[in-house]
């Protein structure tokens, strides 16, 4: 077992311990030797940085930050940067390992990485946010680059943050480096189609699972936890495919709409109210009751560790698609497995975002922008191929989809590690 300086409380959900145990289980299922399993689990590099920021009032505040490169056997590191007060080394390490598995599952030539700063960006002015971003980019600059490690947006970061990072590193290197980050605006090397790619990938996996189970999408009732970058587009995409979003939650609460949410009305309401609460015809319910609402499909699209043993036990849906990173605890996963609830795991379901990032990076290296139709065609093919590969292996092994996806990812990483050998 690889250890990190755990910051979580002894009885709290620890994402790093969770992901390492999953990788180890997959390695044992594959019959890998302990040395190989240890190599796959262990992060290659852990950089902790202190980020000093001059606030608008002249005071200097210090913020801790990290960039972790988990595995580079299949290619340069890939993973987002998040700004959030809950960020910790355990969380970033777990997410970097998730990225290694995710990139391998969808079979793109990346390893896994992740970064973050422990900060509440809502308390910063625009100028303070820029200074924080640029100082953090300066601190991690030796680790990142188009052929080393390519960050992307994550929680509380966006195309503007990526623009500042790209500009900072470009200034340091003395030449323009659009390929150093993805998720950029179009004007400086972004790509048509990146926005909403994660949601599209979740939708593709949802429909693919329904097809495998012999269930037509029309009329399937969905509950979604989260109405942000992923959850908001999902309401539209799923509705367009005939499904009904009957339950929805954001940071302010949850609502139940048995007849289904109209995505255009919800979008207009949210733009005005800045919350889903108060949506016409929506019945307010406790956020803890969201997954117990009468439904067929559950989609957690917020933070990790929310599908606990208690939530899994009371869940009404008969299938789940993980749009968030690490939303299910080990106990929750065990309950869902015992109830025979099929779950498309995060390393497959929400991989549309990293596939889109791969396409943007490829276009930056080529200096040639693809047409939107080509982008979406390749995204759909990549996601369908990944789902089919996991499903076929699932039928061969007879284990839950979560375990199967991990097996596929770990097996591909192990193959690359074995082929490359051990230097020196």
Query: Which residues are part of the catalytic machinery?
Result: 114
> How does DSSP assign 299-360, residue by residue?
EE-SSSS-B-HHHHHH---SEEE--SSS-B-HHHHHHHHHTT--EE-HHHHTTHHHHHHHHH
**Residues sharing a CB contact under 8 Å with residue 317, sequence separation 6 or more, in sequence order:** 223, 291, 295, 296, 297, 298, 341
The conformation of residue 145, written as its DSSP 8-state character, comes to B
Q: Do 347 and 35 form a contact (C-beta atoms < 8 A)?
A: no
**E strands in 108-243:** 111-118, 149-153, 221-225
Write the DSSP string, 381-395. Answer: HHHHHHHHHHHHHHH
* Range list of β-strands (E), 111-252: 111-118, 149-153, 221-225, 244-250
Write down the residue that tokens 């980019």 correspond to.
137
- Burial group, residue 243, by CB count within 10 angstroms (0-12, 13-18, 19+): buried
8-state DSSP, 369 = P
CB 222 within 8 A of CB 236: no
In the DSSP assignment, the letter for residue 275 is: S
Q: Which two tokens stand for residue 67?
A: 């960039």
Backbone angles phi, psi at 108, to 5 degrees: -110, 150
Tokens 């590690």, residue located: 417
CA distance 422 to 320: 40
10 SS3 class: coil
């Amino acid at each position: 077992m690889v250890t990190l300086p755990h910051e979580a409380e002894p009885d709290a959900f620890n994402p790093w311990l969770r992901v390492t145990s999953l990788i180890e289980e997959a390695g044992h299922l594959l019959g890998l030797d302990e040395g190989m399993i240890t190599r796959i689990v262990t992060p290659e590099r852990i950089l902790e940085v202190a980020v000093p920021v001059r606030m608008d009032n002249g005071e200097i505040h210090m913020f801790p930050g990290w960039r972790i490169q988990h595995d580079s056997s299949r290619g340069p590191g890939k993973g987002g940067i998040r700004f959030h007060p809950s960020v910790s080394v355990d969380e970033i390490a777990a997410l970097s390992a998730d990225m290694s598995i995710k990139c391998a599952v969808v079979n793109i030539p990346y390893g896994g990485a992740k970064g973050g700063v422990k900060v509440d960006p809502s308390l910063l002015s625009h100028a303070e946010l820029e200074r924080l971003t640029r100082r953090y980019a300066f601190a991690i600059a030796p680790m990142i680059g188009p052929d080393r490690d390519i960050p992307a947006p994550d929680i509380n970061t966006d195309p503007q943050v990526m623009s500042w990072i790209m500009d900072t590193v470009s200034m340091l290197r003395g030449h323009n480096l659009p390929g150093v980050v993805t998720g950029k605006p179009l004007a400086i090397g972004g790509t048509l189609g990146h926005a909403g790619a994660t949601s599209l990938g979740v939708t593709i996996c949802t429909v693919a699972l329904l097809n495998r189970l012999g269930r037509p999408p029309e009329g399937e009732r969905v509950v979604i936890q989260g109405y942000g970058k992923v959850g908001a587009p999902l309401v539209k995409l799923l509705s367009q495919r005939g499904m009904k979003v009957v339950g929805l939650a954001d940071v302010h609460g949850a609502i139940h709409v048995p007849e289904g949410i109209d995505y255009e009305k919800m979008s207009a309401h949210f733009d005005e109210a800045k919350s889903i609460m108060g949506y016409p015809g929506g019945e307010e319910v406790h956020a803890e009751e969201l997954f117990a609402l009468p439904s067929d499909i559950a989609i957690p699209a917020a933070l990790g560790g929310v599908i606990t043993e208690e939530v899994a036990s009371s869940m009404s849906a008969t299938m789940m698609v993980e749009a968030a990173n690490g939303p299910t605890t080990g106990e929750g996963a065990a309950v869902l497995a015992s109830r025979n609830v099929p779950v498309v795991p995060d390393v497959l379901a929400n991989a549309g975002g990293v596939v889109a990032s791969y396409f943007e990076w490829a276009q930056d290296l080529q200096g040639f922008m693809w047409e939107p139709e080509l982008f979406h065609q390749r995204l759909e093919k990549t996601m369908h191929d990944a789902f089919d590969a996991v499903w076929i292996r699932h039928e061969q092994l007879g284990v839950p989809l979560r375990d199967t996806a991990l097996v596929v990812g770990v097996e591909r990483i192990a193959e690359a590690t074995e082929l490359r050998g051990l230097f020196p």
